[in-house]
């Protein structure tokens, strides 16, 4: 019995768990788990740093737009640079002298034809008009008097004076005959006879004078007098018209519809119509032009002049907005060349200008060749990919914005021009190119567009 109990105790002891030994056996397994967890956390941290924790670079982009050389596949025969100029630039001057009393426009304001832009002081011009109006009224009254002739009352008075003179003449004749009779009888002296003769002759002369006056009064003024006074009236009307024109000239109006380019005067300054010095009176008040009628002025080298002709088409763009293209047409070729510069001036009319094109901007024109056809059917030219030179790095590398990432691409450059760099391989059009890529920009870097 005792032997059996001993065996049972030995078996029971064999079934007990040695916890220290088990801890020694399990320790390597838990260490492996902690290592795996640390690696996972490190990977997650790297992903967060590379993704969510990455600070994107701010960039500017431009869309690549395939362009044909012309609407009918025409090729470019010449590119030239010049300046945008208004077809007609007008410096509005005054017709009269005076001080500026009011200005109604500022630079950039649109104006319509006939709109008043400046008013001058007009007191003396108003007085001159009134003076000429009074002089004309006086002359017209005198002319009407001559044309109406003598009034009946005036004719009757002249006739009465004539009758009175005739009566006096008859009385003088009777006295003269009596004096002669008495003188022959020795009663009157020779002197008394002479006095009677003188009184008769005087009355006879008066009768003749009044008779002529009565006749002139009856037939009225001579036609020559009327014509002379008519001439004076015409002269007065001319002076009045001149005075009114000068008065109207104190309101300076816009001769055309356009836009104010410059305001040359201020209130109180003196405006003149003659030669002026740098700090003296002003010769013009504003300058304006029709900004819907713009041209590009170019100096073409004589070596390239043979490539151009009148009415030749061209594509126009400005340095400020190179992405905006305009259609143009040669409308003027200078009849003489510039000997010193060896150039010929050419003007290209911009067919549909807009507010982005302004006078004195730098402009470029790509002159197009005439459309060519093969067997009666036109062949369209392959699209041309042209990008700004600022989009290239190292001459053959560009960065494309794709899913907020900068993707590096290698391109092949065909040629460079004033419009940009022409790409033959590497781009197909429609890409968003990063302009002026930063020096530290790498392939795959996260980027974002600059806020405007």
Domain limits, the chain: 2-50, 57-65+383-449, 76-87+290-372, 89-121+250-289, 129-244
**pLDDT band at residue 62 using 50, 70 and 90 as cut-offs:** confident
Structure tokens at 170: 């008859």
Q: Which residue has the higher pLDDT, 259 or 450?
A: 259
Is the pLDDT reported for residue 155 higher than 80?
no
**pLDDT band at residue 156 using 50, 70 and 90 as cut-offs:** confident
pLDDT value of position 174: 87
Q: Helix (H, G, I), strand (E, B), or coil: what is residue 254? A: coil
Helix, strand, coil % in the chain, rounded to nearest 5: 35, 30, 35
**pLDDT band at residue 215 using 50, 70 and 90 as cut-offs:** confident
pLDDT value of position 72: 41
Structure tokens at 252: 């300076």
**pLDDT band at residue 376 using 50, 70 and 90 as cut-offs:** very low
Which residue bears the tokens 């740093």? Answer: 49
Task: Please state which of the four CATH numbers 3.40.1450.10, 2.40.30.170, 3.30.360.10, 2.160.10.10 is assigned to the domain occupying 76-87+290-372.
Answer: 2.40.30.170
What rounded mean pLDDT belongs to the chain?
83
Q: Which architecture, in CATH terms, is 129-244? A: Orthogonal Bundle (1.10)
Is the pLDDT reported for residue 303 higher than 90?
no
The stretch 171-179 carries a mean pLDDT of: 87
Which segment of 56-70, 119-133, 324-338, 383-397 scores lowest on mean pLDDT? 56-70
**Alpha-carbon Rg for the chain in angstroms:** 55
**pLDDT band at residue 20 using 50, 70 and 90 as cut-offs:** low
Burial state string for 121-152 with b = 16 or more CB within 10 A and e = fewer than 16: ebeebeebbeebeebbeebbeebeebeeebee
Instruction: Write the pLDDT tens digit of every residue in 67-103.
Output: 655 444 467 889 999 999 999 999 999 999 999 999 9
pLDDT value of position 403: 83
Instruction: Write the pLDDT tens digit of every residue in 8-19.
Output: 556 555 555 555
> Best-predicted range by mean pLDDT among 42-51, 336-345, 364-373?
336-345
Is the pLDDT reported for residue 331 higher than 90?
yes
Is the pLDDT reported for residue 323 higher than 70?
yes
pLDDT value of position 299: 95
CB atoms within 10 A of CB 246: 18
pLDDT value of position 19: 53
Which segment of 2-11, 245-254, 285-294 scores lowest on mean pLDDT? 2-11
Which segment of 53-57, 186-190, 278-282, 348-352 scores lowest on mean pLDDT? 278-282
pLDDT value of position 82: 96
pLDDT value of position 126: 96
pLDDT value of position 194: 85
Q: Helix (H, G, I), strand (E, B), or coil: what is residue 200? A: helix
- Asked if 76-87+290-372 and 129-244 have one fold, the answer is no
The stretch 49-63 carries a mean pLDDT of: 71
Give dist(CA 410, CA 394) in Å, integer: 10
- Looking at CATH, the fold of the domain delimited by 89-121+250-289 is given as OB fold (Dihydrolipoamide Acetyltransferase, E2P) (2.40.50)
Class of the domain covering 57-65+383-449: mainly beta
Please say whether the beta carbons of 239 and 256 come within 8 A: no
Query: Which residues are registered as beta bridge partners of 81?
Result: 364
pLDDT value of position 71: 43
Of all residues in the chain, the percent with pLDDT exceeding 90 is 41
Count of helix runs (H) and strand runs (E) in the chain: 6, 24
Q: Which residue has the higher pLDDT, 436 or 126?
A: 126
Helices 190-219 and 152-184 cross at an angle (nearest 10°) of: 160
pLDDT value of position 138: 95
The stretch 45-68 carries a mean pLDDT of: 69
> What secondary structure letter does DSSP report for 329?
E
Nearest to 445 by CA among 409, 401, 411, 398: 401
The stretch 377-383 carries a mean pLDDT of: 50
pLDDT value of position 159: 79
Q: Helix (H, G, I), strand (E, B), or coil: what is residue 395? A: coil
Quote the distance between the C-alpha of residue 314 and its chain's center.
24
Query: Which residues are registered as beta bridge partners of 317?
Result: 364
The stretch 335-344 carries a mean pLDDT of: 93
pLDDT value of position 49: 53
Nearest to 91 by CA among 285, 360, 359, 271: 285
The stretch 345-366 carries a mean pLDDT of: 94
The stretch 289-316 carries a mean pLDDT of: 93
Is the pLDDT reported for residue 334 higher than 90?
yes
CB atoms within 10 A of CB 211: 16
Nearest to 367 by CA among 330, 416, 323, 397: 330
Which residue bears the tokens 């062949």? Answer: 379
Q: Which residue has the higher pLDDT, 9 or 219?
A: 219
């Amino acid at each position: 019995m005792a032997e059996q109990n001993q065996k049972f105790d030995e078996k029971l002891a064999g079934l007990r768990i040695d916890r220290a030994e088990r801890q020694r056996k399990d320790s390597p397994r838990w260490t492996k788990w902690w290592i795996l967890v640390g690696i996972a956390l490190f990977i997650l941290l790297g992903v967060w740093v590379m993704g969510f924790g990455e600070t994107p670079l701010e960039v500017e982009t431009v869309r690549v737009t395939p362009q044909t050389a012309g609407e009918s596949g025409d090729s470019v025969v010449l590119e030239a640079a010049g300046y945008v100029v208004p077809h007609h630039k007008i410096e509005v001057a005054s017709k009269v002298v005076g001080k500026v009393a009011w200005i109604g426009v500022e630079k950039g304001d649109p104006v319509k034809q006939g709109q008043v832009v400046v008013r001058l002081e007009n007191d003396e011009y108003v007085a001159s008009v009134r003076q000429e109006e009074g002089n004309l009224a006086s002359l017209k009254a005198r002319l009407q008097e001559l044309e109406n002739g003598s009034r009946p009352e005036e004719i009757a008075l002249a006739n009465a004076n004539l009758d009175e003179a005739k009566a006096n003449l008859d009385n003088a004749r009777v006295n003269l005959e009596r004096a002669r009779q008495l003188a022959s009888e020795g009663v009157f002296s020779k002197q008394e006879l002479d006095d009677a003769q003188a009184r008769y002759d005087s009355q006879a002369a008066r009768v003749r004078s009044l008779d002529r006056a009565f006749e002139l009064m009856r037939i009225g003024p001579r036609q020559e007098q009327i014509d002379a006074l008519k001439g004076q009236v015409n002269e007065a009307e001319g002076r009045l018209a001149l005075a009114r024109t000068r008065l109207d000239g104190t309101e300076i109006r816009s001769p055309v519809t356009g836009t104010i380019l410059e305001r040359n005067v201020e209130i109180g300054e003196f405006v003149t119509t003659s030669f002026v010095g740098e700090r003296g009176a002003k010769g013009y008040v504003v300058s304006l032009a029709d900004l819907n009628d713009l041209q590009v002025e170019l100096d073409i080298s004589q070596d390239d002049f043979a490539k151009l002709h009148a009415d030749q088409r061209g594509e126009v763009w400005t340095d400020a907005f190179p992405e905006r293209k305009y259609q143009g047409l040669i409308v003027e070729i200078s009849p003489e060349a510039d000997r010193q510069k060896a150039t010929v001036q050419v003007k290209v009319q911009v067919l549909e200008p807009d507010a982005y094109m302004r006078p004195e901007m730098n402009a470029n024109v790509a002159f197009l060749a005439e459309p060519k056809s093969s067997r009666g059917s036109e062949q369209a030219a392959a699209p041309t990919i042209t990008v700004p030179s600022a989009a290239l790095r190292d001459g053959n590398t560009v960065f494309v914005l794709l899913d907020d990432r900068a993707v590096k691409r290698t391109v092949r450059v065909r040629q460079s021009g004033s419009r940009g760099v022409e790409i033959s391989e590497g781009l197909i059009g429609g890409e968003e190119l990063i302009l002026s890529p930063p020096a530290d920009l790498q392939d795959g870097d996260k980027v974002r567009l600059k806020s405007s």
